[in-house]
Amino acid sequence: MKPTHRDNGARPIRDAIVMSGWSWYNYNDPERIALALSRLGAKVLYCENPSSRLRNAALEITEIQSGIFRLRPQFLGHRLNRLQLGFDRLQARMIAAQVQKAAAKLELRDPFFIYPHGDFFVPLCREFKKRGFPLVHCCFDYPEPGQDRHIELSDCTLTLSKSIFHQLRAKFGSKIALIPQVRWSDASEPQKTGCVEPTELSAIPKPRLGYIGLVSNRLNLAVLHELLVSRPDWHFVHFGDSKCLPLPNVHTIKWRDAANLGGLVASLHVGFMPYNCHSNKDFHCMPLKVFDYFNAGIPVVSTPLVNLWEYSDTIYFGDTAEELAAAVELALEEPVDSQRKSFRKEIAKGQSIAALAESLSRILFSGRSGPSDAFEEPAHFESVGLRNE
C-alpha cells in the first residue's frame, strides 16, 4: 500500500496515532477525535483494540476515511496481562513495535499518541513515552480506579465532561483540557436523504422510547422496569441481540452505522436515557447520543445527569419511575411546532466534528500557553528524515 500524504500548506505540525479500546464502527470518542484531527489535515493511524494473533489473522493497514488508516495490533491475548508476570510489559513492547512500524510506513510526522483509559494502556503508554512520543490521555467517563496513573504519565489529558474537567483540574491544573462532546452524523458518510422509517422499527408499536445504544450496565433497570410495567402501552427500544428486560414492551434492534441512524432516530417519539445516577460514572457522564436526538429535534427524557443540567430547557428530567413517567407524558404531548424542537436542533449544530477540530487545534497545535507548550519534538523519526517544518 502506498501511503497518501495530504499536505496543503495548512496541516498541523504533527500527525497522530489514536489508540482505541473499541473498533471503528463503535463510533465512540476516540473515533471522533480521529475524524476531527483528519479534518484539520493530520494523517491519523487509528489502532483498534488489540486482538490475539492466535485467533485472528493480521490485517493490512487500510484507509477507512480520508487520511485515517486503520491498524489492528496483535498480541498473545488480554488474559495474559492479568497474570502480573511481566506479560503486560512484553505485550506492550509487541504492540508498540507494530504501531511504530506502521507509523513509519505511513510517514507520520512526529505524531501524538492519543489513548483512552485502560489498565493495559499503562505499560503501553510507558513504552511510547520511552520512545519519545507526546502522550495525550482521554478521560471520557468518571475517573476509573488507576486513572491518576494515566494523567501523571500524559502530557495532556482531554475530557468532555465539565464536571470531571473541574474535578481533575483542581488536582492536575492546566494539564487537563476540556473538549466539546459532538454528534457523529456530520462527519460520517453522507446521511441518506429523507427519514424513512426502518422496516425493523415499523413492526414496533407506538409510542417508542428509544435508547440508541447497547444497554450494558449503564441504565437504572429497576426504575426502567417499574416504568414499563406501569405503562405497557409505551415501548422501549434499544440496540442489542437480547432484551435488557423480559417484558413484552421491550424491543431490540440491530446496531447500525452512523450513515443509517437518521431515519431511525426520527422515527422515535422520545429519546430516552434512564441512566443510573447512583453510579458516579453514569451521573457524571456526557452521553454521545443526546446530540443525535437533538439533531432530529425529538423530545428527550433523562435522569438528571450533571452534565445535562445546562440543557434543562430542552430535556425533560425525572429521578423515579413516577417522575420519568410524568416527563415522558410531557414529551409526548409536546407540539410538533414546539420551540424546544428548534432549540435542540440549534444546539446540535454547534456540537459538530468541526467544533471538536477547532478545540483540538487550539489545545494541541496553537503554540499558545497551555498543554501544547509541554510537547517537545521527539527524536524517534530522525532515521526517516521527518522533522517539524
pLDDT of 123 higher than 80: yes
Helix, strand, coil shares of the chain as percentages rounded to 5?
40, 15, 45
Q: Output the nine-digit C-alpha cell for 200.
A: 425493523
Confidence label for 82 from pLDDT (cuts 50, 70 and 90): low
pLDDT, greater one: 9 or 22: 22
Confidence label for 191 from pLDDT (cuts 50, 70 and 90): very low
Confidence label for 56 from pLDDT (cuts 50, 70 and 90): confident
In a 13 Å sphere around the CA of 82, the CA atoms on its Cβ side amount to 3
Q: How far is CA 277 from CA 104, 119, 180, 304, 305, in A?
A: 45, 25, 22, 7, 7
Confidence label for 328 from pLDDT (cuts 50, 70 and 90): very high
Stretch 49-78: mean pLDDT, rounded? Answer: 84
Is residue 160 a part of any domain in this protein?
yes
Q: Please name the residue that has the C-alpha cell 482521554.
A: 138
**DSSP 8-class letter at 74:** E
Stretch 137-146: mean pLDDT, rounded? Answer: 84
Q: What is the pTM of this model?
A: 0.82
Stretch 23-43: mean pLDDT, rounded? Answer: 91
Confidence label for 388 from pLDDT (cuts 50, 70 and 90): very low
Conformation bin of residue 218: beta by default, left when phi > 0, alpha when psi is -120 to 50: alpha
Confidence label for 50 from pLDDT (cuts 50, 70 and 90): confident
Looking at the structure, tell me whether residues 267 and 136 fall in a common domain: no
Lowest mean pLDDT among 46-50, 187-191, 217-221: 187-191
Cα separation, 160 vs 156, whole angstroms: 13
Looking at the structure, tell me whether residues 109 and 132 fall in a common domain: yes
Length of the chain: 389
Looking at the structure, tell me whether residues 134 and 206 fall in a common domain: no
Looking at the structure, tell me whether residues 47 and 72 fall in a common domain: yes
pLDDT at 345: 92
Name, in order, each residue with C-beta under 8 angstroms of 19's C-beta and a sequence gap of 6 or more: 30, 47, 99, 113, 114, 115, 116, 121, 124
- Give the tens place of pLDDT for each residue, 232-285: 999 999 999 999 999 999 999 998 777 678 889 999 999 999 999 999 999 999
Torsion of CA 370, 362, 121, 305, to 10 degrees: 100
pLDDT, greater one: 143 or 53: 143
**Domain limits for position 256:** 199-349
pLDDT of 146 higher than 90: no
Cα separation, 44 vs 33, whole angstroms: 10
Is residue 337 a part of any domain in this protein?
yes
Looking at the structure, tell me whether residues 267 and 333 fall in a common domain: yes
Is residue 47 a part of any domain in this protein?
yes
Cα separation, 158 vs 7, whole angstroms: 26
pLDDT, greater one: 80 or 217: 217
Looking at the structure, tell me whether residues 259 and 365 fall in a common domain: no
Looking at the structure, tell me whether residues 280 and 369 fall in a common domain: no
Is residue 136 a part of any domain in this protein?
yes
Looking at the structure, tell me whether residues 61 and 150 fall in a common domain: yes
- Give the mean pLDDT of the chain: 85
Looking at the structure, tell me whether residues 203 and 340 fall in a common domain: yes
Looking at the structure, tell me whether residues 209 and 235 fall in a common domain: yes
- Give the tens place of pLDDT for each residue, 202-222: 899 999 999 998 898 899 999
Residue type, 285: C
**What total number of domains does the chain contain?**
2
Is residue 223 a part of any domain in this protein?
yes
pLDDT at 368: 43
Stretch 345-356: mean pLDDT, rounded? Answer: 90
The phi and psi torsions of 126 (rounded to 5 degrees) equal: -60, -40
Looking at the structure, tell me whether residues 230 and 373 fall in a common domain: no
**DSSP 8-class letter at 267:** T
Is residue 232 a part of any domain in this protein?
yes
Is residue 343 a part of any domain in this protein?
yes
Q: What is the CATH number of the domain that holds 280?
A: 3.40.50.2000
Stretch 127-148: mean pLDDT, rounded? Answer: 89
Instruction: Name which of 107, 168, 170, 114 is nearest 143 in CA terms.
Output: 168
Lowest mean pLDDT among 90-94, 191-195, 198-202, 277-281: 191-195
Looking at the structure, tell me whether residues 208 and 319 fall in a common domain: yes
Q: Output the nine-digit C-alpha cell for 85.
A: 508476570
**DSSP 8-class letter at 269:** S
CB atoms within 10 A of CB 384: 11
Stretch 34-43: mean pLDDT, rounded? Answer: 95
Lowest mean pLDDT among 38-42, 78-82, 201-205, 349-353: 78-82
* % of the chain surpassing 90 pLDDT: 61
pLDDT of 373 higher than 60: no
pLDDT at 141: 80
